[in-house]
């Protein structure tokens, strides 16, 4: 029988709070993958996953927002059904969705860095609308750029234009709606009070 | 209406005592990585034929059927099926290049095979084992953090999904179904976010009160004799993946 003899290494209060928030946010992005809305401009329904990435950057900041999305990817790779359509497993990280998924932690960190202007969190009431929208626009560009490049590598027969057609044209218009929804959420009192 | 799609068959761990259920999770993770590398290096009819047999073998070893596991990945189908069509179509004569479509089809098919092997892992590995594999592989606090975090994601995902169902039903009951999509998204997401933060605060309190430790007791993992063929298989796949690059 193996016995551990070293002393117990306790987790500090602040680290525990950050860990809890990062893990809960990762689970929330996973739960968002199940919520789909009809897309007003294309037949492909939209899920709220990318909205979760936006909110992770805005609410948790560049460090913990990014960490939260890393947890999301690791949990998904190990079998938590958190990817689009309840998908799970390592395969999603090297298949057709690879580029999008790998971009999520980077996009959350980028959005957090733009909104909070550094690793420390600012009060969201002090963040102007242009900064908020600009941060999410930059995040969207990053997600789709990596997503399309991912497709280009997964199907080498694709030209970049074909990869863009397959991987971005259908979904991109819906991102504007998510940016608007995210602004509404950040500005609503309900979350500010939480 | 904000639809909450609950898959009829959630693709997740299925308890059992198949061969794959009894293997060390680290060996199984290694096979997945090696399989993906081999599939990318050998996207030829012959290479994929061999890998197909292997993928079916993995699914069978996990006690599943190819149909069941493939159904769990049906979300990938639209992309995998349209990719050859888009790659083959041209804006002008000859309108459709069969050769390009065929090669794109092979690339699509290899993604399907990688998903099947990943599915075999998901089907045969409980969360505890996966968590232990992460903590035993990634050193120090990073590994501990990832392990605890992954455990929490598994634990809270079903609760947060339920929260979102409740939020959507509440919105519908108040006549919110007629609102523009942007407002419906905002209402459902706000409710989800609020509940997630409330749960995170309670969880943090509980973690502090229970004196959360970075080094909890984990299930024991050890490579046994039956894991040897798995590691050998992963090594063979990795060699097969590297050989074409050495020749080039």
Give the model confidence (pLDDT) of A110-167 as tens digits. Answer: 999 999 998 888 888 888 999 999 999 999 999 999 999 998 889 888 888 888 888 8
Q: Where do we find the tokens 């298949």?
A: A95
Residue A169 token pair: 């044209």
Cα–chain center distance at B210: 32
Specify which residues B96 forms β-bridges with. Answer: B89
> What pLDDT is recorded for position B52?
96
CA B11 remoteness from chain centre: 9
Q: What is the mean pLDDT of residues B152-174?
A: 91
For residue B41, the tally of other CB atoms under 10 A from its CB is 18
CA angle B162, A100, B164 (to 5 degrees): 10
Residue in A closest to B36 by C-alpha = A94
Computed from CA positions of residues B186, B170, A20, B12, in that sequence, does the dihedral angle turn out positive or negative? Answer: negative
Three-state DSSP at A119 gives coil
Q: What is the ipTM of this complex?
A: 0.88
**Shortest CA gap A184–chain B (Å):** 7
Rounded to the nearest angstrom, the minimum Cα separation between B166 and chain A is 12
CA B91 remoteness from chain centre: 36
B75 contacts in chain A (CB < 8 Å) = 83-87
The CA-CA-CA angle for residues B83, B89, B95, to 5°, reads: 165
pLDDT score of A1: 52
| Confidence tier at A189 by pLDDT (50, 70, 90) | low
pLDDT of B42-80, one tens digit each?
999 999 999 999 999 999 999 999 998 888 888 888 888
* Predicted local distance difference test score (pLDDT) of residue B29: 93
Residue-averaged pLDDT of chain B: 87
Cβ-Cβ contacts under 8 Å between A and B: the total is 272
Name the residue in chain A with its Cα closest to that of B74: A85
Q: Do A37 and B181 touch (CB under 8 A)?
A: yes
Q: Does A40 touch chain B (CB under 8 A)?
A: yes
Residue with the two structure tokens 């005592």: B17
Confidence band, pLDDT 50/70/90 cuts, at residue A179: very high
Which pTM was predicted?
Answer: 0.90
Q: What is A13-44+54-192's CATH number, 1.10.1760.20, 1.10.3720.10, 1.10.10.10, 3.40.50.150?
A: 1.10.1760.20
How near does any CA of chain B get to the CA of A41, in Å? Answer: 11
Least confident segment among A1-5, A78-82, A175-179:
A1-5
Residues of A in contact with B117 (CB under 8 A): 91
Does the pLDDT of residue A194 top 70, yes or no?
no
Q: Which A residues in the span 127-156 are in contact with B, Cβ-Cβ below 8 Å?
A: 154-156
Sign of CA dihedral B140, B143, B147, B153: positive
CB-based contact A178 B152, cutoff 8 Å: no
Q: What is the rounded distance in angstroms from the CA atom of residue B121 to the CA atom of residue B210?
A: 33
A56 Cβ neighbours under 8 A, 6+ residues apart: A25, A29, A65, A68, A69, A108, A111, A112
Give me the pLDDT at residue B8, please: 41
Say if residues A49 and A92 touch (Cβ distance below 8 Å).
no
Chain-chain contact of B153 with A72 (C-beta, under 8 angstroms): yes
- Domain chopping of chain A, boundaries: 13-44+54-192
pLDDT tens-digit series, residues B218-245: 777 888 888 899 999 999 999 999 988 8
User: In a 10 Å sphere around its CB, with 0-12 CB exposed, 13-18 middle and 19+ buried, how is residue A152 labelled?
Assistant: buried
Task: Please identify which residue in the block is written with the tokens 């979102």.
Answer: B164
Cα separations in angstroms, B129 against A90, A101, B235:
15, 24, 22
Torsion of CA A88, A108, B153, A71, to 10 degrees: 80
Token pair, residue A160, equals 């970049």
Model confidence at B197: pLDDT above 60: yes
Of A16, A74, A166, the CB nearest to B82: A166
* Cα–Cα distance measured from residue A147 to residue A164, given in angstroms and rounded to the nearest whole number: 9
- pLDDT above 50: residue A193: no
Confidence of residue B5 (pLDDT cuts 50, 70, 90): very low
- The string over A77-97, giving b where at least 16 C-beta atoms fall within 10 Å of a residue's C-beta and e elsewhere, is bbbbbbbbbbbbbbbbbbbbb
Q: How many residues does chain B have?
A: 248
Which residue in A171, A180, A33, A140 sits closest to B180, CA to CA? A180
Residue A39 has pLDDT above 80, yes or no: no
The pLDDT confidence band at residue B1, using thresholds 50, 70 and 90, is: very low
Shortest CA gap A109–chain B (Å): 18
For chain A, the straight-line distance linking the first and the last C-alpha, in angstroms and rounded, comes to 46
- pLDDT band of residue A55 (cuts 50, 70, 90) is very high
Q: Testing the interface with A: which of B10, B43, B144, B189 to mutate, by most A Cβ within 10 A?
A: B189
Name the band, by pLDDT with cuts 50, 70 and 90, for residue B135: confident
Report how far residue A15's alpha carbon sits from residue B143's, in angstroms, rounded to the nearest whole number: 15
Instruction: Kindly identify which residue of chain A lies nearest to residue B181, measuring between CA atoms.
Output: A37
In chain B, what are the domain boundaries?
20-125+222-247, 139-209
């Amino acid at each position: 029988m193996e016995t551990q003899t070293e002393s117990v290494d306790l987790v500090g209060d602040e680290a525990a709070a950050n860990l809890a928030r990062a893990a809960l946010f990762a689970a929330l992005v996973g739960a968002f993958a199940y919520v789909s809305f009809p897309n007003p401009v294309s037949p492909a329904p939209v899920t709220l996953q990318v909205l979760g990435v936006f909110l992770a950057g805005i609410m948790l900041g560049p460090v913990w927002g990014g960490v939260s999305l890393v947890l999301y990817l690791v949990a998904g790779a190990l079998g938590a059904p958190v990817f689009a359509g309840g998908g799970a497993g390592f395969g999603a990280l090297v298949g057709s969705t690879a580029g999008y998924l790998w971009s999520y932690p980077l996009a959350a960190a980028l959005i957090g860095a733009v909104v909070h202007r550094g690793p420390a969190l600012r009060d969201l009431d002090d963040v102007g609308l242009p900064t908020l929208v600009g941060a999410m626009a930059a995040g969207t560009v990053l997600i789709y750029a990596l997503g399309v490049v991912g497709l280009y590598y997964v199907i080498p027969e694709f030209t970049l234009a074909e990869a863009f057609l397959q991987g971005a044209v259908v979904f991109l218009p819906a991102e504007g709606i998510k940016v608007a929804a995210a602004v509404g959420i950040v500005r609503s009192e309900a979350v500010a009070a939480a | 209406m904000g639809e909450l799609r609950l898959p009829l068959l959630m693709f997740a761990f299925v308890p059992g005592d198949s061969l794959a259920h009894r293997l060390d999770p680290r060996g199984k993770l290694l096979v997945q990585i090696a399989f993906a590398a081999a599939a990318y290096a050998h996207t030829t009819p012959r290479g994929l034929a061999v890998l197909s047999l292997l993928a079916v073998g993995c699914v069978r070893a996990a006690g599943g059927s190819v149909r069941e596991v493939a159904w769990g990945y049906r979300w990938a189908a639209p992309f995998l099926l349209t990719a050859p069509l888009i790659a083959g179509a041209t804006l002008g004569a000859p309108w459709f290049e069969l050769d390009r479509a065929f090669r794109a089809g092979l690339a699509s098919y290899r993604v399907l095979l990688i998903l099947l092997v990943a599915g075999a892992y998901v089907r045969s590995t409980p969360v505890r084992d996966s968590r232990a594999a992460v903590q035993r592989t990634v050193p120090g606090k990073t590994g501990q953090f990832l392990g605890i975090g992954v455990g929490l994601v598994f634990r809270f995902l079903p609760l947060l999904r339920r929260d979102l169902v409740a939020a959507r039903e509440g919105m519908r009951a108040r006549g919110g179904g007629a609102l523009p999509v942007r407002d419906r998204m905002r209402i459902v997401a706000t409710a989800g976010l609020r509940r997630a933060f409330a749960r995170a605060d309670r969880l943090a309190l509980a973690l502090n009160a229970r004196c959360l430790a970075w080094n909890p007791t984990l299930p024991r993992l050890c490579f046994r004799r039956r894991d040897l063929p798995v590691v050998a298989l992963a090594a063979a796949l990795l060699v097969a993946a590297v050989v074409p690059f050495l020749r080039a």
